[in-house]
Every structure is written in structure tokens, then in C-alpha cells.
Amino acid sequence: MSEVFASPRGLIVGGLFIVLLIALIWAIVYGRKLARTEVTDLVFGNPQKALGGWHWVISGVSAILIFWLYFSWDAARAFFPNVANELCQVAKVESAVVPMRSAFPFESRLLRGTSLLSRDSTQIAQIRGRISNLDLEAEQVGSIEPLLDRLGALQVSLASPDSMAPETAAALDGIAARINELADQLDSGELSAEQVAAIATAREVDPGWGNTNKEIPIDPITERGARYAAVAAPLLEVSKEYTSIRNNSPAFLDEVAAIDADIKALIASTDSESVAQIGKDLTKVLKRIDDAVIFPPSALQPVEYALANLHEVHRDQQGSLRLIDAIALPGGRIVAGKTACTEQGSGRWLPKPSDTIRKFVGLADPTRGYKGHALLWYKQKTLAEMAGFFIPDWIADLVPGEYPRHNEAGEIGQNLKSKILNIATGNFASPSVPIPTGHIWDSMMRVLTGLFFGIVLGVPLGLFMGLSRFAKGFFDPLIELYRPVPPLAWAPLILTIFGIQDDGKIFLLFMVAFAIMVISARTGATGTQLSKIHASHSLGASRWQILRNVILPNSLPEILTGIRISIGVCWGTLVAAEMLAGTTGIGFVENVARKQNDYEIIWITIILLGLLGLLFDLVMRWVISRTIPWRGKG
Amino acid sequence: MSDLIADQVDMTFTMPSGEQVHALKDVSFTLKQGELLSVLGPSGCGKTTLLNLIAGFLRPTGGQFTLNDMEINGPGVERGMVFQQGALFEWLTVAENVDFGLRMKKANKAESARKVEEWLEIVGLQGFGNTPTYQLSGGMQQRVALARCLINDPDLILMDEPLGALDALTREKMQSLVLKIWKETGKTIMIITHSVEEALLLGERLFVMAPRPGRLHKEYHLPFAEWGLNQDLRDVKKHDDFGTVREEILTMIWDMEEEIMGKTA
Ligand SMILES: Nc1ncnc2c1ncn2[C@@H]1O[C@H](COP(=O)(O)OP(=O)(O)O)[C@@H](O)[C@H]1O
Ligand SMILES: [Mg+2]
């Protein structure tokens, strides 16, 4: 257990995991107890029963976090910081023997030779069948049939121990012996002094799972791992050697050459297209037999036994590692590559909470940010700069008179017109004020600006449409035609017209919000009780006063609900639009992270989007509860 | 001369389908200033239509109404309305609701506030000024509606089944309130009801209307409203005369209802 909380991060994550487990169990036990004691209401379906229940919130939150910590292997990393490295060494051994094991019926059904033999015989039989169907002259058949017979015989000769070259048999026995040797070495558990020293070095270079830029240290940092690593390299050599062994005795090679020559002669001598095709097919079969990887089963026996033995030792030596792998690393495994060991499965695509937080801290650092832009920070901007941005330059053109011209001395004087131009272009000295910036700010501003214009233009039009037959009829086709189009379908067009910077996105969001606001305002206006309108008329209100004091407040619930929906839809549209184009914004960050397979950042953007969406919604709920407490009570 | 004169008023609704509904036929009457008129009749006989015409929400298809020697053409502050459900503005407080008419006139704020206080007291709602209207009971809501209408000082007050949705106890209190207001302000009041007792209590004059087409069927001049000013309403109801007239009108309305049912069946 000493290694359990090796690092402070492990300590935190491990502690949190245990606390969450306790909280989850407590909440469930508490909830059940409460349910048993709360028997005053016997009726099922009473919505009152869904009120309260914060302990279930605790259990829900704990369950999510436990699930996350568990399936991202963060808990595993906290409790077993060395296990990934050890599994990496185990995986090295496994991948080293894969080429050998695949020739034997361990993971597959048949011995490799058996399946090759059956495949080639089937093909020879097929060609034989085609000849009888082809309506060939007896002479032609006479020249093909013997070739088929000889191919069959050649193949069969590979399966016979008698025709095998003695060197081949010796080579196979040698392989078996070396595998057994390595298995013994693994079993004995002995390590040389060098190997032990190498462990300490490796620990220094790569202190542990996820502690450096490398996902998993590739060199063994434990003795158990070192034992596996010690046999992995020689096993890889053995594997290579084994796959290069061919069952090709001199007699076999001679026969291959002879059959090849005869097939070529057959093809050369015929002008029948079908005979030439059969010749080509015969060559293909010959090429396959020529691979000579079919061995007599008896000759392979020692290798098979040796591999089985190695596998057993390999399994036994893992000991508790297998259990930990099964329990603590769910949903995936650790795989050894040529230069690195990697997590595969949920350990890979579900980022670990601790890594995510570490990355987030990096992103949140305004001096680093992401792609040269902070996540959320402020910068000093002069008032002049803002004036230059907001005041259109042509205002100066409207001032009567002419802009000053330079005089003979080359001096340029100032007049009112040029002074106003200076203000409009932001060309004056002014104090600076802090202005928020950053990806989050950019995204939020786009949504809020689009929403603002949507409300300012959509609500009056909606009210108008709710009250006037002309407005309803005239604008309805326009809105009903563009509204059902998914906003993103507009994006290519809008971004082309308005540019990929803020203008295009804001306009897109405006379109989204506008339609929703028009429809909600219209519904609100249509729903005004006639008696309220009558009452206000009798109380002497003018049309404008009725609109302002009766119809607008009466539509407020619908309008606010519309705003709430708009924010949600805008938020979704914005992120997608930012993924299409642009250089800032949360969607942009996620898109870049996606291209770089940076799952932690993808995860961070997802969480940020969720939290910001929630924030917007909470604000709206608060506004709604403050501004329309009468809702549903009128 | 602020009498209300109905001169051969005719109202025919044309439905979108082209079907015509003759809601009022040849209605003529004169309502003198300060009179208290109740209108009674079976459902669908055109009572609301009559009120909407006087309020100016509808234009008659024939004849005309004159108030203060001017033809009624559109809604106006001199004709206040009280609706069955109050039609209060639930986004405003009680005081703001009562103040609505003055605010539309852009009246002096301090003056208005004083008036609002006054009227809240008259209808028995002192101290409720800052309460949101949706927190009030039905009876209190109707009191607000009354105050909101009366603060504008209308010449004629039109009430469309103002007490219809109230429970019996509240209803009785409100009936006294209406009588009290009638007495103290001397306003002309026209009140529609489907309760015969209410019509007798709140009608110096009483019109019984008949349906298909809606018309004035019979007119009564009654003493009970006067009595109600000084007596307990329950004592008035116990009086023999009250019972006789009630029975007579009830029979009349039953006959009308039976006629309708017979026609439709
Ligand atoms: N706006 C309208 N359009 C068509 N018919 C109407 C309209 N208003 C009222 N009516 C018809 O006029 C008749 C009288 O209605 P109303 O005045 O509401 O009766 P009451 O108030 O006495 O119950 C009814 O038959 C009703 O269907
Ligand atoms: Mg009615």
C-alpha cells in the first residue's frame, strides 16, 4: 500500500474516490431509510413525492464522478501508479509472441498449415471443375490435368515429415528450445545486476503513469516489469526467426521450378483464352504453395508446447496484475507499440479528471491560453480604440466643409471636420480601461449580441404580427420558410456573405434568435385576454398605451421563455459555426483539439459549454422568477 | 342631460361562415342619470352584447346609443366597465391597477396616489395597495376592479355579471358595496346578472330580456334597492313583495328557457 498514494495527485484522487464511494453508499442507505419511514402518503403518482431529496442529488453527483474517475482509469492511476508500466511490459511480451501464436490454434480454430492446405486443395478442385465445364479439346485437357495432379502432390509433400529437410526440423526444435529457455527465465524471476540498476534509471527518467508528457513510461520501473521486459526483446527475435523458417527442401524447390516452367510453356503454346486464364490461376496456386509455411504437425509440436508453456508462465507471473487489470482498468487495455505504450479504450478517450484539471489550469493561465488567446481574461483598451470601433467614420463626412489640405510648408492644419474624423477613427489620446477578452468571452459576446438584435427586432415584429392581419399575412411566409431550416444549413451562405469573423456568426445567431422571438412575441400578443383589452380601452388608454402597458407585459412570459429557448439554440449553433470557421471561441478550441486528438481539451470545452449553458439558463430562470411572478396565476 | 338613450338598436352578427345571428332587436330605452338598472335574462339573450354596444366595443348594425347627447362611437372613459373575472392586470399591484386610468391620463402622481388610497378605503382594501393582484381572493379582485373603474369618475358604470364568480357570502357583501357606492356617488349603474335575487336587489329598474332575437321583454320598477340602502339585505329578501316578484320573474324565465329547449329539441 506504500505506493498507493505515491504522489500528491494520487493522494487527492484516491481520497476523493473513497469519499465519493462513501457518499454514494450513504445517500442510498439514507434515501432508502427515508422512503421506509415516510409512509404517510400511500398513493403512487403524487407529484409531491418528487419534491426535495437532496440526498439523491448527492448520490447522482457521486455516481457520475465515480463513473468518470473509474472509467478514465484515474482511480486506477491513483491507487496503482505502477500498474500501467507493468502492464506495458506484459503487453510487450504478448505482442512479441503474437506472430508465432497466430500460427497455432490458440486464438484461432485451426493450425495455420491446416487452413492453408484446405484452401489450396479447394482451389485445385475448383480449377478441375472449370476444365470439365469449359468444353476443351482432349489434347488441352491432357496437358492441364497432370499439372493439377502435380500441384496437389507438391502441396501434400509439405505435410509429410519424410520430405522435410533436416535443417528445417532442427530450426523448429531450436525455436522451441529457446522459447522454453525464456519461459524458464521468466519463471525463475532472476534479474541481472544491470537490469536492476536500469529500473532506478528508468524511474528517474519517467517517474510514473502520466507524470511526464509520455502517457506511460516504456522502460520497466518495477522488478516484475523488468522480468517481462527482459524476455520481451529476445522473444521478438525468436518470433522473427520463426516466421522466416520455410519448409523448402531442395526436392521441393526443384519441383516448384519444374511446374512453373511447364505452366509457362502451356500458356505460351495455347491461343485459347480460357486455357491461358487457367494457366494464370495455376501460377497463383503455385505461388501460394511456394510460400512453404505448411509444416508436418508433428514437427510443430515442440513449438506449440513451448508457446503454451510460456503462456502459462507468463500468466502465473503476472499474479495480482491480472486482477488489477480486470477490475481497475475497465473498458480497455494497455497496448505496447514500437516506441511507446498507450492506453486504449475508455482510458484513452475518457480523459482523467486530474489530467483535465491540470490542463485546464494551463489553459486558464492568461499568458498561455490556447492558440495565442486567453480563455477568459482582460486587456487594457483605450477609449479611443473603442470609439474608433463603434463610431462610423462617415459621420465626419456629414460635417459641412472640406477636410484640410496641406499648405506650402507641408503642414496639415485641423478643422472641425478633421477633428471629428479623428474621433471617429479613434485617433486621439485617451485613458485605457480593462475589457474582457478570451475564447469564452468571444463566444458569449457573439451569443449575446445575436440575441440582443433578435430580441430588439423580433419582439416588436412578433407583437405586430399578433395584432395585425396584414403583418401576420405578410411576414408569416418569410419567417415560416426560413425558420425550419437548420441554422447550420445557413452557415456556409451567411459566412460567405458576412465573413468568417464575428459579423457572420452574429448574423447567423441573430437569424436563429429572431425567428424564435417573433414567434414567442406573437403567441404572447395573440393570447391577451380580450376583457383586459376592453378594460384598458374603457380606462382611457390609447393604442400605444395598450400595447406598452397591457399587451407587452401580458406577452412577457412567452417572450422570456422565447429568450430562454433562443439562448440554448444560439449556444448550440454558435459552437458549430465556430467549428466551421474562425480563430477564437470555444468551438474553435474544440475543433483544434479534435484535429490534434487532444481529448482533455475536448473534454474541457464540453464541460465549459455545459456550465456556461447552465449559467445562462439559471440567469434566465432567475429573471423569469423576478419579472413574471404572476405567471400561471392570472 | 347625461341620460343614456337607446334608440331602436339592432345588432346582427355575421359569422365567418355567412350565418347571421340576430343578437338584439329593436331595443329602445332611456336610462336617467343616477338610476340603477339591472338586466336579467336567460343565457344567450344578448345581455353582454347590449353592454358591449354601450361600452363602445361594438357598433350596432341599426339604431344608436346616445350618452350626454352624443352618439356612442367607440370606448370612452365616461363609461366604466367591470367584468365578471375582474380582468385585472396581474403584472401590477393593487394600487397600480387602481391607478391605471389616471396613469393613462398622465395625471399628477401625488394627486393620483391620494385618490388611490381613498378608493381603496371605499372598497375596503386599505393596506392592500402593494399586494400583487394574483394573491387576492375573487371578492377582493372584484373590489379592485370596482375601484379601478370608479377612480376615473365615469358617468355610467357597466357591470357584466360582476358577482357571478363569487361565493354566496362574498356576494352579499359585494351587493351591499354596490348599493353603497350607488348611493354615495349617485352614478348611473347598469348591472347584468343571471341571478334573479341579485337583479331584484340591485335594480331600481329591472329589464327582463327574451332571447331569439334578444329584446326587452318586460320592465319593472322596484323598491328593493332603496330598502337595501337602509336595511339588511337578508331582511329585504324576507319581505313578501320580494318573494312575489321573484316567483313571477322566475316563472317567466323558466317559460322562456322551456321555449328555447323545446325549440332546440
Ligand atoms: N362576436 C360575436 N359573433 C357572433 N355571434 C355572437 C358574438 N357575440 C355574441 N354572439 C351571439 O349573440 C347572442 C347573444 O350573446 P351574448 O350577448 O353573449 O348573450 P348573454 O350575455 O346574454 O349570455 C348569442 O347567440 C351569441 O352566440
Ligand atoms: Mg354574457
pLDDT single digits (tens) A544-572: 999 999 999 999 999 999 999 999 999 98
CA nearest A541 in B: which residue? B104
Q: Does A628 sit within 8 Å of B104, measured CB to CB?
A: no
Reported as a pLDDT band with limits 50, 70 and 90, residue A212 is low
- Is residue A96 domain-shared with residue A153, that is, in the same domain? yes
Q: For residue A221, how many C-alpha atoms fall within 13 Å in the half-sphere facing its CB?
A: 20
Candidates B79, B90, B104; nearest CB to A630: B90
The domain in which residue A621 lies consists of 438-627
Reported as a pLDDT band with limits 50, 70 and 90, residue B262 is low
Q: Which residues contact A294 (CB under 8 A, 6 or more apart)?
A: A113, A116, A117, A155, A158, A159, A247
Q: Of the candidates A434, A321, A352, which has an alpha carbon nearest to the alpha carbon of residue A91?
A: A321
- Please identify which residue in the block is written with the cell numbers 471629428: A420
Mean pLDDT of B176-185: 88
Q: What is the pLDDT of residue A2?
A: 41
Cell readout for A304 is: 506449440
User: What does each C-alpha distance from B82 to A395, B39, B165 come to in angstroms?
Assistant: 55, 15, 13
- Is residue A572 domain-shared with residue A548, that is, in the same domain? yes
Q: Pick the residue whose CA is nearest to atom 3 on ligand 1.
A: B13
Percent helix, strand, coil in chain A (nearest 5)? Answer: 70, 5, 25
Residue B26 has pLDDT above 70, yes or no: yes
Q: Residues B253, B259: contact at Cβ < 8 Å?
A: no
CATH number for region B4-78+157-264: 3.40.50.300
Q: Which residues contact B192 (CB under 8 A, 6 or more apart)?
A: B38, B39, B47, B48, B50, B51, B159, B160, B161
> Alpha-carbon distance A70 to A86, whole Å?
19
> Using one digit for the tens of pLDDT, what is the confidence trace for A235-259?
999 999 999 999 989 999 999 999 9
Q: Residues A286, A252: contact at Cβ < 8 Å?
A: no
- Is residue A102 domain-shared with residue A249, that is, in the same domain? yes
> Alpha-carbon distance A326 to A332, whole Å?
9
CA nearest A557 in B: which residue? B91
| Domain-located, residue A369 | no
Q: Of the candidates A426, A438, A432, which has an alpha carbon nearest to the alpha carbon of residue A389?
A: A426
Q: Does A534 sit within 8 Å of B75, measured CB to CB?
A: yes
Q: Pick the residue whose CA is nearest to atom 12 on ligand 1.
A: B23
Percent helix, strand, coil in chain B (nearest 5)? Answer: 40, 25, 35
- Is residue A60 domain-shared with residue A147, that is, in the same domain? no
Mean pLDDT of A618-629: 88
> Using one digit for the tens of pLDDT, what is the confidence trace for A253-301?
999 999 999 999 988 988 888 888 899 999 999 999 988 889 999 999 9
Residues of A whose CB is below 8 A from B81: 534-535, 538
> Alpha-carbon distance B51 to B192, whole Å?
8
| Domain-located, residue A556 | yes
Q: What is the CA radius of gyration of chain A?
A: 39
The ligand minimizing its distance to the Cα of B160 is: 2
Reported as a pLDDT band with limits 50, 70 and 90, residue A417 is confident
Q: B164 CB under 6 A from ligand 1?
A: no
> Using one digit for the tens of pLDDT, what is the confidence trace for A24-62?
999 999 988 888 877 666 677 777 777 778 888 999 999
Residues of A whose CB is below 8 A from B151: none
- Is residue A168 domain-shared with residue A287, that is, in the same domain? yes
How far does residue B13's CA lie from ligand 1's centre (Å)? 8
| Domain-located, residue A569 | yes
Cell readout for A145 is: 490435368
How far does residue B168's CA lie from ligand 1's centre (Å)? 27
User: What does each C-alpha distance from B2 to A5, A16, B190, B192 come to in angstroms?
Assistant: 95, 84, 14, 21
Q: How many domains, chain A?
A: 4
Q: Which residues contact B62 (CB under 8 A, 6 or more apart)?
A: B8, B9, B10, B11, B12
Candidates B101, B133, B134; nearest CB to A539: B101
* Number of neighbouring beta carbons within 10 Å of residue A477: 9
Minimal Cα–Cα distance from B241 to chain A, Å?
A: 37
Reported as a pLDDT band with limits 50, 70 and 90, residue A1 is very low
Domain limits, chain B: 4-78+157-264, 85-153
> Alpha-carbon distance B58 to B49, whole Å?
8
Q: Pick the residue whose CA is nearest to atom 6 on ligand 1.
A: B13
> Alpha-carbon distance B78 to B55, whole Å?
9
Checking A109-118 for CB contacts under 8 A at 24+ apart, the result is A111/A297, A111/A300, A112/A293, A113/A158, A113/A159, A113/A293, A113/A294, A113/A295, A113/A297, A113/A300, A114/A297, A116/A288, A116/A293, A116/A294, A117/A155, A117/A158, A117/A159, A117/A294
> Alpha-carbon distance A349 to A342, whole Å?
12
> Alpha-carbon distance A75 to A350, whole Å?
13
Q: Pick the residue whose CA is nearest to atom 17 on ligand 1.
A: B46
Domain limit, last residue, from A296, A316, A342: A342
| Domain-located, residue A366 | no
pTM of full prediction above 0.80: no
Helices A223-244 & A166-188, crossing angle to 10 degrees? Answer: 170
Q: Which residues contact A126 (CB under 8 A, 6 or more apart)?
A: none
How far does residue B212's CA lie from ligand 2's centre (Å)? 15
User: How distant is the alpha carbon of residue A175 from its chain centre?
Assistant: 43
> Using one digit for the tens of pLDDT, what is the confidence trace for A451-490?
999 999 999 999 999 999 999 999 999 898 988 888 889 8
Residue B2 has pLDDT above 80, yes or no: no
Strand ranges (E), B72-169: 79-82, 156-160
- Is residue A540 domain-shared with residue A608, that is, in the same domain? yes
Reported as a pLDDT band with limits 50, 70 and 90, residue A191 is confident
Q: B108 CB under 6 A from ligand 1?
A: no
Q: Residues B160, B85: contact at Cβ < 8 Å?
A: no
Under DSSP, the state recorded for A547 is I
Q: What is the pLDDT of residue B265?
A: 46
Q: Residues A303, A179: contact at Cβ < 8 Å?
A: yes
Query: A377-382 and A341-345: which strand pairing?
Result: unpaired
**Interface of chain A toward chain B, CB-CB under 8 angstroms:** 529, 531-532, 534-542, 545, 549-550, 553-554, 556, 628-630, 633-634
Q: B45 CB under 6 A from ligand 1?
A: yes
Best of B53, B89, B159, B161 to substitute, by most chain A Cβ atoms within 10 angstroms, is B89
* Number of neighbouring beta carbons within 10 Å of residue A534: 19
| Domain-located, residue A373 | no
Candidates A537, A556, A630; nearest CB to B75: A537
Residues of B whose CB is below 8 A from A539: 77, 80, 100-101, 104, 148-149, 152
| Domain-located, residue A353 | no
Q: What is the pLDDT of residue A429?
A: 84
How far does residue A179's CA lie from ligand 1's centre (Å)? 102
> Using one digit for the tens of pLDDT, what is the confidence trace for A85-135?
999 999 999 999 999 999 999 988 999 999 999 999 999 999 998 888 887
- Is residue A424 domain-shared with residue A470, that is, in the same domain? no
> Alpha-carbon distance A592 to A583, whole Å?
10
Per residue in A573-605, is it b (16+ CB within 10 Å) or e — as a string?
bbbebbbbbbebbbbbbbbbbeeeebbbbbbbb
The ipTM of this complex is: 0.92
Cell readout for A486 is: 437548420
- Is residue A424 domain-shared with residue A446, that is, in the same domain? no
| Domain-located, residue A409 | yes
Q: Does B132 sit within 8 Å of A535, measured CB to CB?
A: no
> Alpha-carbon distance A425 to A69, whole Å?
54
Query: B205-210 and B36-40: which strand pairing?
Result: parallel
Reported as a pLDDT band with limits 50, 70 and 90, residue A230 is very high
Mean pLDDT of B215-239: 84
- Please identify which residue in the block is written with the cell numbers 352624443: B70
Q: Does A630 sit within 8 Å of B76, measured CB to CB?
A: no
| Domain-located, residue A3 | no
Q: What is the pLDDT of residue A6?
A: 54
Neighbouring-strand partners of residue B21: B13
Residues of B whose CB is below 8 A from A628: 91
Best of B53, B90, B93 to substitute, by most chain A Cβ atoms within 10 angstroms, is B90
- Is residue A497 domain-shared with residue A603, that is, in the same domain? yes
> Alpha-carbon distance A633 to B19, whole Å?
37
| pLDDT-above-90 percentage for chain B | 21
Q: What is the pLDDT of residue A11?
A: 86
Residues around the ion ligand 2 (C-beta < 5 A): B 48
- Is residue A566 domain-shared with residue A598, that is, in the same domain? yes
User: What does each C-alpha distance from A356 to A350, A366, A396, A601, A614 come to in angstroms?
Assistant: 10, 17, 52, 7, 20
Cell readout for A174 is: 531450436
Instruction: Give the residue, A307 or A425, on which the prediction is more confident.
Output: A307
> Alpha-carbon distance B96 to B113, whole Å?
9
* Number of neighbouring beta carbons within 10 Å of residue A107: 8
Q: Does B132 sit within 8 Å of A630, measured CB to CB?
A: yes
Q: Which amino acid is at A518?
A: V
Candidates A534, A540, A629; nearest CB to B101: A540
> Using one digit for the tens of pLDDT, what is the confidence trace for A60-80?
999 999 999 999 999 998 898
Reported as a pLDDT band with limits 50, 70 and 90, residue A420 is confident
| Cis preceding linkage at B213, omega within 30 | yes
- Is residue A30 domain-shared with residue A87, that is, in the same domain? no
Residues of A whose CB is below 8 A from B90: 630, 633-634
> Which atom of ligand 1 is the closest one to the Cα of B49?
17
Three-state secondary-structure class, residue B82: strand
Residue B154 has pLDDT above 60, yes or no: yes
Q: Taking CA B255 as the corner, what is the angle to CA B252 and CA B257, rounded to the nearest 5 degrees?
A: 110
Q: Does B79 sit within 8 Å of A538, measured CB to CB?
A: yes
Domain limit, last residue, from A421, A436, A451: A436
> Alpha-carbon distance A459 to A474, whole Å?
16
Q: Pick the residue whose CA is nearest to atom 5 on ligand 1.
A: B13
CATH code, A549: 1.10.3720.10
> Alpha-carbon distance A440 to A433, whole Å?
20
Q: Of the candidates A589, A213, A580, A577, which has an alpha carbon nearest to the alpha carbon of residue A371?
A: A589
Alpha-helical (H) ranges within A189-330 are 193-205, 223-244, 250-269, 273-290, 297-318, 320-328
- Is residue A411 domain-shared with residue A310, that is, in the same domain? no
